[in-house]
A and B are shown apart, each in its own frame.
Chain A
Amino acid sequence: MAANYWESTQRKHWQVSSECLSQWRNATEERLRLSKHPNANIDLGDPTHIRIFLHGLLVKLGHRLSCRQQILATAELYLARFYAKASVKETNPYAIVTACLYLACKIEEYPQHIRSITAEARALWPDCVSSDSTIIGQCEFYLIEEMGMCLIVHQPYRSLKQFSRSMSDIYQGQLIILPDEMSCAWSVLNDSYITDLPLLYPPHIIALAALFVAVLTKAPRGSVSDTAVSGSRMANLADWLAQCGADLSAISNCVQQLLSLYHSWESYRDSTCQQIISKIINTS
């Protein structure tokens, strides 16, 4: 529940193994193939690129509505859950993104009228979103159903703040997370929603991985003494992680997935993905 991740529906129903995720995805692909769906054979390219594209849509609409990060993160997780069970090829992601944000606003107690959110989405993507808001309402229904009505989500941001506080308590200032690292870790968490991590790991593990990535990438480069300092910071961090009994293999798995996201991002082209999605949606 709000206070307890371990008793939450997120833990019980929406934290799955990577095998389970692939199984869901394969089943969807199989269904499209068997029903001879016109988009079944469209090549989506690097799946991460499509995820980056969807993330971009959500962030864009969220900023137009002045949504806080907490709302965006909830909507991102809804989107990830939905597309774990459905395929981008068989749906209109612009409408799904809008429905995710509409629902997240309500659940995070920052409700927006369905007509105004539809109007904002339409202003951004006039060819892809209908002016009829009941269509977004319909998407909301199917979205909620697909999520098994599990709507309250736990996010890693809270854990990140807690870890930073507890570290400075333990090391009496020696290993305080620098403001730079903290804001970097925060951005890494924002990006973590592009990956499968929120479906695979509990929020605190993702928060620790983000912290690790932040310390790693913010490490000063250049002089030998700097490298030594950053090396010892990394060692301290690893030491602290081991001390708190965190699942190190899970964390390292997360770190790898985050780093591979950034690697894949280097070859990302927005226009390419937009073309692929246009091919999927009938815009006539």
Chain B
Amino acid sequence: MTDEVLTDGDQLVIGEHKLGSRLIIGTGGASNLTVLERALVASGTELTTVAMRRADTEGGSGVLELLRRLGITLLPNTAGCRSAAEAVLTARLAREALDTDLVKLEVHADDRTLLPDPVETLDAAEQLVADGFTVLVYTNDDPVLALRLEEAGCAAVMPLGAPIGTGLGIRNPHNIELIVARAGVPIILDAGIGTASDATLAMELGCDAVLLSTAVTRAQDPERMAYAMRSAVTAGRLARAAGRVPQRFWAQASSPPR
């Protein structure tokens, strides 16, 4: 049983894509590509985000070469976009540049919170689904919006635990449980993870995967933290499947009475 949970028998399926790892890593924040490579390998990730930016005159960037060498599937994001129109164009450019149907849709409302703009996000999701993309959508921890995004045809819904880069963990675990309880597509906890216990909690709450970046890339030892996150996701997944004991107010003896 354990082997099934840990290996091939327990795949994460997003649209047509099947993944053996339930940990998705963002590449932002790593001090250099060597550090990033060690962290990615330690994490066991099979899907990793990249951002789309204006090409300088030298062109290209080493991160693509690295991810291709490691055999990791690319997940381009639309980070930095403020409107549905911008996000749709960025997604189309990513598809052309990277030859993938996958996109992590994110439309940020402002720079201080980087919170998702729900109106623009839903609009962009509808357009991208109609255009044939496999859309993984970054959203607030709003159970109603999560359902609307699923109904719009998103292949995975990714509610935040807390704002991007804050490391504040999962601020509203009940909302995440509500989202999971009604979801028909994978739910991926995205943003806010600070340390391993946050990733475990996400999986215990029933999330299908965790996406994190800062918690690993800006940790004092990214490689070690990546391994911690991999273990944490596995632990949470196992605990969820195992079924935890109910919480009790009073003690219950675990030794037999005299």
Say whether A associates with B.
no
A interface with B by C-beta (< 8 Å): none
